[in-house]
Amino acid sequence: MLDLYFDRCEDNLVNYIYFPRQFSLANDLVEEDFSVALIGVKSEMNNVNPGSATAPDAIRRQLYPLRGGFSNIKVKDLGNLKKGKCMADTYAALKDVVGELLSMNVLPVVIGGSHELTVPLYEAMKDKLSAIRTTLVDRKVDYPFTSSEVFDANAFLDRIMKDPHNEDFKLLAYQGYYCPKSYLNELQDSKCQMIRVGELFRNIAFTEPLMRDTDLLSIDMSAVRHADSPGFAYAIPNGLTGEEICQLAHYAGLSDRISLFGLFEANPAFDDSDQTASLAAQVIWHFLEGLDNRYGDYPKREINSYEERVAIFPSENEMNIHFYHNRLNDRWWIKIPTQTGDKIYACLVSDYYTACGGDKPDIWMRYYMR
């Protein structure tokens, strides 16, 4: 039934140049019993990056020759979503397909196309989860607050931020000079966690628990600096490095919570020597490798099965903080009371030490009674 929505990819997309075909991802793709589905969406709307609709096949040409041989996941390429008569048809079809895959416990990897395709991905998740934790990697805020029913790659975040299913939203790698203060202020008022690209430069590893807590990850390739990713209509001198964007994707793949991954805005029209397509392919590969090496941690495993540690606050007016530690991989979680009950969030060991020192960690202050 899903095949009715797709145009299958051509067989001649790839020249196998790295090693014999039998070791490639293309040779490892399956048709049945798959747990991950690749989906191309060759569309863009009112986009400042014209040409991104041609990205899915350009990325496939770079992705297929990469090493396959995954042990714990099986990947199928469904092809490119058939174009509707209008963008609304495309959005509806993408939502239906992703919703069906999620109901099959298949993780969709969506290759765009323009960034507003994140909206139908989010809409599809609402039938599976009553509370969604979303992470976007982007250089700017796609959020010109408007009452218009029309949205595009530069104006779609209100569809997520104002939705009652939005439990938590994070914006990573934004660059302040691309973001009006009014947008940033409104995101802060909405309790969005925003992390500038400079903070990621200092220590990319602190994003691991953020990715571990993500249901939906959406990456805009314009967050990567032009030197590493020239395939964008406007040169962006600063941004994430190629290594950093791959590291973020790997952390996301290792998450036992993530259900949906999207990568957008790569543009072959401006891509010198297919460099951006190659980097996008490596981002997807690192995500798949992460999926293949997941630990089966929370929420797959009961939180009470971990070692529990309690940071005690002697004041009668202060609440003790409960932490949970997986000693096998040194991952940590924290239990935080919210307005809808106690919730578990991934955290760092430094949060535990901060609490033991008598201070509330930042993650507690962010979510307590929210």
For residue 347 the two structure tokens come to: 């955290």
SS3 annotation, 150-196 = CCECCECCHHHHCCCCEEEEEEEEECHHHCCHHHHHHHHHCCCEEEE
For the chain, what is the radius of gyration of the CA atoms? Answer: 20
Q: What is the rounded CA–CA span in Å between residue 20 and residue 17?
A: 8
Q: Pick from 173, 184, 188, 189: which is nearest to 144 by CA?
A: 184
Which residues does 291 contact at the CB level (< 8 Å), separation at least 6? 36, 70, 72, 73, 107, 253, 254
Domains and CATH numbers, the chain: 2-292 (3.40.800.10), 303-367 (no CATH)
Looking up tokens 């020597």 gives 273
Q: What is the rounded CA–CA span in Å between residue 45 and residue 241?
A: 27
Q: Pick from 290, 239, 366: which is nearest to 73 by CA?
A: 290
Looking up tokens 């009668």 gives 316
Q: Pick from 309, 275, 304, 234: which is nearest to 49 by CA?
A: 234
At residue 46, the pLDDT reads 67
**pLDDT (tens place) for every residue of the chain, 370 residues total:** 788 999 988 767 787 778 888 999 999 999 999 999 999 999 987 667 889 999 999 999 999 999 999 999 999 999 999 988 888 899 999 999 999 999 999 999 999 999 999 999 999 999 899 999 999 999 999 876 555 566 777 888 888 988 999 999 999 999 999 999 988 888 888 889 999 999 999 999 999 999 999 999 999 999 999 999 999 998 899 999 999 999 999 999 999 999 999 999 999 999 989 999 999 999 999 999 999 999 999 999 999 999 999 999 987 677 899 999 999 999 999 999 999 899 999 999 999 999 999 999 999 999 998 8
